[in-house]
């Protein structure tokens, strides 16, 4: 059983969080993952769409995380300059088995130094801005997701579901990932380089 913590911050992107949580939290994966949400302080956090999610833990009382997931959203543009947030990400990523990002969450990982020297990807519409946050990152413009050892990054929004299914397969087995995809009626991208939204 691994504990997966999802970071919440003001103006996070809803599907960046709840797409992966649909996969990791599905009953077919529940024997493998315990899911929690984390923010600077426990309580409600507003998404960029206005809908609020509840953070189970604040930074101070967050349990040890085996897997850390950092979503994107418009709030990343403010939070790249939040030293407390990026410091927390850096510390938690250093002790986690895997660190994941969806969309512009890669900008937060980049500013935290988690992606230095690594290959990573992000949302195509925000690609240039995210790249500017991590000059020491080997950015992949054509990728649905990138698995670079203990860090896995995905492209925009729904790509986070494909990344999550990949991680479920990696940490459990192909049958579990396939069963979850079937149960949520998701047509998977199996090839991480099959990126229909990349622009050359």
Distance between CA atoms of residues 117 and 185, nearest Å: 36
Q: How far is CA 108 from the centre of its chain?
A: 10
Sign of the alpha-carbon dihedral angle for 187, 192, 198, 200:
negative
* Number of Cβ within a 10 Å radius of residue 58: 13
Is 62 a known active-site residue?
Answer: no
**Catalytic pick among 103, 110, 112, 126:** 103
What is the DSSP annotation of the chain? -EEEEEE--TTB-HHHHHHHHHHHTSTTTTTTEEEEEEESSSEEEEBTTS-EEEESEEGGGPPP-SEEEE--STTHHHHTT-HHHHHHHHHHHHH-SEEEE-TTHHHHHHHTTTTTTSEE---STTHHHHHHH-TTSEE-SS-SEEEETTEEEE-STTHHHHHHHHHHHHHS-HHHHHHHHHHTT-----STT--TT---
User: Active-site residues: which are they?
Assistant: 103
């Amino acid at each position: 059983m691994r504990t997966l913590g999802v970071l919440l911050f003001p103006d996070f992107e809803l599907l960046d969080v709840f797409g992966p949580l649909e996969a990791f939290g599905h009953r077919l994966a529940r024997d493998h993952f315990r899911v929690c949400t984390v923010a600077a302080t426990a309580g409600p956090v507003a998404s960029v769409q206005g809908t609020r999610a509840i953070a189970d833990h604040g930074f101070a009382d967050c349990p040890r995380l085996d897997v850390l997931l950092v979503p994107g959203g418009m709030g990343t543009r403010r939070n790249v300059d939040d030293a407390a947030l990026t410091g927390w990400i850096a510390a938690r990523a250093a002790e986690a088995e895997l660190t994941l990002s969806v969309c512009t969450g890669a900008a937060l990982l980049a500013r935290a130094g988690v992606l230095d020297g690594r290959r990573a990807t992000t949302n195509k519409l925000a690609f240039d801005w995210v790249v500017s946050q991590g000059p020491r990152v080997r950015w992949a413009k054509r990728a649905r997701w990138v698995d670079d050892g203990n860090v896995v990054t995905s492209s925009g929004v729904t790509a986070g579901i494909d990344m999550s299914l990949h991680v479920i397969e990696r940490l459990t087995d192909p049958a579990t990932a396939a069963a979850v995809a079937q149960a949520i009626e998701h047509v998977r991208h199996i090839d991480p380089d099959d990126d229909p939204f990349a622009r050359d």
